[in-house]
């Protein structure tokens, strides 16, 4: 077994209790690696972290263990292993004990798709061998101390450094002057892991991936932020010429118009992408309407708010960005 793969096993937990000293050494090895395997693993970790469900191994009891979200059966959370069935669940917050007591079928909607029905048959067969004890639930995670308290500092450092060379777009965006949650959004963006419809349909959470903004194309990351009709008009208004072969991983290399300076260019791109993403969510979930002018005004507000995060000597750049958005209206 390679050292990198051994590190992955330690980090993922999979039911093993790892000392803090051992974990720290593991983190050091992962940070210095550019292994694609570790990159894929960190993507799983970050998606899990975002959902607030760090991997942990569960000793039988079930009263304080989430049936769908905790890792308590065969080293994988059931929502990941049975995505179609989980999408038919009426209550995703039930414990293992409550689910086994009430019956899994009582948690599901009455009509299941063919795929969900197949997953149900497999899961019920697995659950037939499950027996709970009266013992208290015990969790183990390589990111928790002896008392079970979770420490996210090492995990955060891991996610920022794993699988990223010094010149990668991931590292550049982590070093931008955007707020932390937008840096996190950028990480998901360059790995094409934001919750666009194409990703949700791939996980069988949605039945189709058609973009709700244009109604024609699959809502991929690149389509949503660059090639959808509104997004394309947005970038044209700012003077950008988007390459036809644009990929999410190359967002930082977006050709820079001559009237936009090189300084903190990565932060400027994030102002734009973040505003387009928020517009999409407002339309999709709150039935809002935002014109191009209103979106540019939102970009201007973001640029003004973010300018205080720039170095003191560069804070006047925020005014320049605000002028660019005003001229594009």
Pairwise CA distance, residues 170 & 162, whole Å: 10
pLDDT tens figures, 31-84: 444 444 444 455 445 444 433 443 333 445 567 788 888 777 776 778 888 888
Domain residue spans in the chain?
3-55+141-160, 58-127, 165-328
* Other C-beta atoms lying within 10 Å of the C-beta of residue 39: 15
Token pair of 156, please? Answer: 């955060």
Which value, to the nearest 10 degrees, does the dihedral of the CA atoms of residues 269, 273, 276, 282 take?
A: -130
pLDDT, averaged across the chain: 76
What would the mean pLDDT of 122-148 be, rounded to a whole number? 74
pTM of the model: 0.56
pLDDT tens figures, 220-271: 999 999 999 999 999 999 999 999 999 888 888 889 999 998 899 989 999 9
Token pair of 39, please? Answer: 């990159």
Q: Note whether 242 and 303 are within 8 A (CB).
A: no
What would the mean pLDDT of 159-181 be, rounded to a whole number? 64
pLDDT tens figures, 305-318: 998 888 888 888 98
């Amino acid at each position: 077994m390679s050292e990198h793969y051994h590190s992955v096993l330690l980090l993922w937990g999979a039911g093993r209790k790892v000392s803090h000293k051992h974990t720290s050494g593991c983190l050091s090895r992962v940070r210095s690696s550019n292994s694609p395997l570790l990159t894929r693993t960190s993507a799983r970790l970050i998606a899990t972290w975002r959902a607030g469900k760090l991997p942990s191994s569960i000793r039988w009891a079930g009263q304080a263990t989430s049936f769908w979200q905790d890792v308590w059966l065969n080293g994988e959370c059931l929502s990941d292993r049975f995505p179609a069935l989980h999408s038919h669940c009426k209550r995703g917050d039930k414990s293992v004990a409550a689910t086994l007591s009430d019956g899994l079928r009582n948690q599901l909607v009455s009509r299941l798709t063919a795929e969900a029905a197949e997953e149900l048959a497999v899961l019920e067969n697995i659950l037939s061998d499950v027996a709970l004890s009266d013992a208290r639930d015990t969790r183990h995670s390589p990111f928790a101390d002896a008392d079970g308290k979770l420490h996210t500092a090492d995990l955060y450092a891991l996610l920022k450094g794993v699988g990223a060379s010094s010149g990668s777009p991931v590292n550049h965006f982590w070093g931008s002057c955007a707020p932390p949650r937008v840096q996190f959004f950028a990480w998901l963006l360059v790995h094409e892991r934001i919750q666009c419809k194409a990703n949700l349909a791939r996980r069988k959470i949605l039945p189709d991936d058609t973009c709700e903004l244009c109604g024609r194309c699959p809502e991929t990351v690149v389509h949503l932020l660059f090639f959808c009709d509104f997004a394309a008009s947005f970038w044209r208004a700012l003077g950008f010429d988007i390459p036809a072969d644009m990929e999410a991983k190359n967002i930082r290399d977006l050709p820079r118009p001559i009237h936009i300076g090189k300084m903190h260019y990565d932060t400027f791109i994030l102002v734009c992408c973040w505003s387009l993403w928020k517009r999409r969510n407002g339309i999709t979930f709150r039935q809002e309407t935002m014109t191009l002018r209103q979106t540019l005004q939102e970009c201007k507000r973001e640029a003004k708010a973010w300018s205080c995060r720039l170095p003191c000597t560069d804070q006047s750049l925020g005014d320049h960005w605000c002028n660019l958005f005003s001229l594009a209206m």
